[in-house]
Amino acid sequence: MKKADILIIGSGIAGLFFAIKMAKKRPDLFIAIMTKEKVQNSNTQMAQGGIAVVTDHIEDSFEQHIQDTIQSGGGFCDEEIVRMVINQAPERLKELIDIGVSFDKDKSGTWNLGLEGGHSQHRILHHKDISGEEIGKKLIETINQLSNITLFENHLVIDINTKKNKGNPSCTGAFYCDKVNSQIKYIQAKTIVLSTGGCGQLFKNTTNPEIATGDGIAIASRAGALIKDIQYIQFHPTALYEGDKNPFFLVSEAVRGFGAHIINEDKKRFIFKHDTRGELATRDIVSQAISEEMETSGKQHVYLDCRHLDFEEFYTHFPFITNYCQTIGLNPKTDLIPIVPVAHYQCGGINVNKNSETNIKNLYAIGECSRTGLHGKNRLASNSLLEALVFAHQASNHIENSIDDVSFSSKKIMADFSEPLINLYSDNFVELKKELQALMTVLYANKEVDFRKILDKMESMKMKTVSLLFEKQKITTQLVEFTNMLTVAKIVVESNMQQFFEKSPSY
Ligand SMILES: Cc1cc2nc3c(=O)[nH]c(=O)nc-3n(C[C@H](O)[C@H](O)[C@H](O)COP(=O)(O)OP(=O)(O)OC[C@H]3O[C@@H](n4cnc5c(N)ncnc54)[C@H](O)[C@@H]3O)c2cc1C
């Protein structure tokens, strides 16, 4: 049985940045990171636009970034949290730069700041259009140099274990599947940090990679953690339309910030009918406008028009997007790019306070799996990477001061299974997953929704899943992920239902 002072679940920006901060503060602690695939498989690696930070204090100010965030969140942000995150941003940015992350500069040596929807100023630091890849690479390099961090790839965490502590549960360890040896094992931990990312795979049309199955939300809710605002799923307006694709390739919002237009079948711009900011309105508004236009035209997409832009400059900022378009025969200089809104980001999640603590003792959540109060109903572009950095910092400060009062739990726990219990692949879940994704798509299709019918269908999928388990007598990674997807989907439906009937959407 393994033991770690701190177990981090997930290897995106939140988990990795937290690990680095914690390892530097407390070299005496043993820190384990478990991640269910290769370390690079995360939403983080796919981030294009960059990080929103106020660096120009002449044109811009913290207050403007704060107001933009609050406006984007539609009145549902926690202002104290918004202020904390935005005021802290420059310090966290400096820490990224100190470990070698490079952001683009102009010829004059000042930051080349991007503009994105909902931002009143240029304030997005970026590394061309592969900001996430650059950040991920430097974080992983740093992790590899820190001797008190051990990274376990292909370790799928199944559930956390809790014990009752004078009525208040506290977490004591986690069950995981070691995919290399096909075994289920247990790790004891004094503190667990969930940084498992989002749940975009609940939808057929999404920018999120296959790992985004909402595992952390499911694990936390099974353990009794509070899940909040999960009905606020953000749809990104400009995913490249390629028919039946999963995930969809994203065309960054920064492309609109650079001056691209959104046009309809008649080659006319139409977003101004919905918002005076036009293409630079927030994602919820632009996505809604596009959906309505598609409904009217009966077409599967609208277009992004970049043909009027300076192509040389465009290519310097967006080489990745340009090259991808070219692989499917589209040249942004001469061709219209078909685009469609798709599921992109989970604004809610595991409820945490300003120190990233959940309501379960010694269980923290950071990054996209958490609900901090920063985003409200609709996240402002490029505030997500920033949120992950700030809450990783907050958690590291809190744990540094509290972990010495925590001891390993002596409670007897189920022994590790030495027999292989896991089949690595089962195609039984391919159809079930498609069925679930179709249901979730209906839920967000702006039509009248029969919540009861959706929940009944989910219940019958659950029964099928259980019977598959009994039939095969083996747990598969697909079974674990699909069960998590079903759990999260049900919470999302119920939160929508509660909101519909104007009850408080919290668990
Ligand atoms: C295409 C795209 C572009 C984006 N661009 C931007 C941008 O420009 N700016 C911005 O601010 N945001 C952007 N976002 C959002 C942002 O990238 C994510 O919100 C952020 O990276 C989430 O980081 P994270 O560390 O919380 O999770 P992730 O980066 O998703 O990492 C989650 C990790 O948890 C692991 N994991 C999950 N479940 C388990 C389990 N059961 N056991 C073990 N490991 C598990 C995964 O394998 C993964 O390593 C973008 C998102 C996408 C998809």
Tell me the fold of 2-231+347-405. Answer: FAD/NAD(P)-binding domain (3.50.50)
For 273, counting Cβ atoms within 10 Å of its Cβ (0-12 exposed, 13-18 middle, 19+ buried), the class is exposed
Report which of 230, 233, 226 is spatially closest to residue 498, judged by C-alpha positions: 230
* CB count in 10 Å sphere of residue 328: 10
How far is Cα 292 from Cα 340, in angstroms, rounded to an integer? 11
**Sequence-separated (6 or more) residues with CB below 8 Å from residue 148:** 23, 26, 27, 28, 29, 30, 31
State which of 19-33, 159-173, 177-191 shows the largest mean pLDDT.
19-33
Largest Cα separation within the chain, whole Å, is 69
- Which phi and psi (to 5°) does residue 293 adopt? -65, -40
Tell whether omega for the bond before 332 is within 30 degrees of 0, i.e. cis: no
Q: Is any ligand 1 atom within 6 A of the Cβ of residue 389?
A: no
Higher pLDDT: 353 or 504? It is: 353
Which residue numbers are catalytic?
283
Ligand 1 centre distance from Cα of residue 45 (Å): 7
Cα(31)–Cα(64) distance, integer angstroms: 38
Which residue is listed with tokens 């120009």?
56
Quick one: tokens of 41?
Answer: 């498989």
- Pocket of ligand 1 contains residue 195 by CB under 6 Å: yes
In the chain, where the domains are located: 2-231+347-405, 237-341, 422-500
Query: Is the separation of the CB atoms in 400 and 67 below 8 Å?
Result: no
Does any ligand 1 atom lie closer than 6 A to the CB of residue 505?
A: no
Ligand 1 pocket mutation, candidates 178, 383, 384, 389, criterion most atoms within 8 A of CB: 384
- Alpha helical stretches, state H, 364-450: 384-402, 428-443
pLDDT at 419 over 70: no
Q: What is the mean pLDDT of residues 181-196?
A: 95
Q: What is the pLDDT of residues 267-299, one digit of tens each?
A: 999 999 999 999 999 999 999 999 999 999 999
CA distance 376 to 232: 8
Residue-wise pLDDT tens digits, 294-338: 999 999 999 999 999 999 999 999 999 999 999 999 999 999 999
92 touches 390 (CB < 8 A): yes
Distance in angstroms (rounded) separating the CA atoms of residues 88 and 179? 39
Confidence at residue 504, expressed as pLDDT on a 0 to 100 scale: 47
Which residue in the block uniquely carries the two structure tokens 């970026």? 126
Regarding the beta carbon of 207 and ligand 1, being less than 6 Å apart is answered yes
Atom of ligand 1 nearest to the CA of 15: 25
pLDDT tens-digit map of 174-187: 999 999 888 899 99
Residue of the nearest CA to atom 17 in ligand 1? 44
Residue 416 — very low, low, confident or very high, per pLDDT cuts 50/70/90?
A: low
pLDDT at 507: 46
Q: For the chain, what percent of residues have pLDDT higher than 90?
A: 87
382 lines ligand 1 (CB under 6 A): yes
Q: Which atom of ligand 1 is nearest to the CA of 196?
A: 34
Nearest to 25 by CA among 401, 408, 407, 363: 401
Domain covering 237-341 in this structure, CATH number: 3.90.700.10
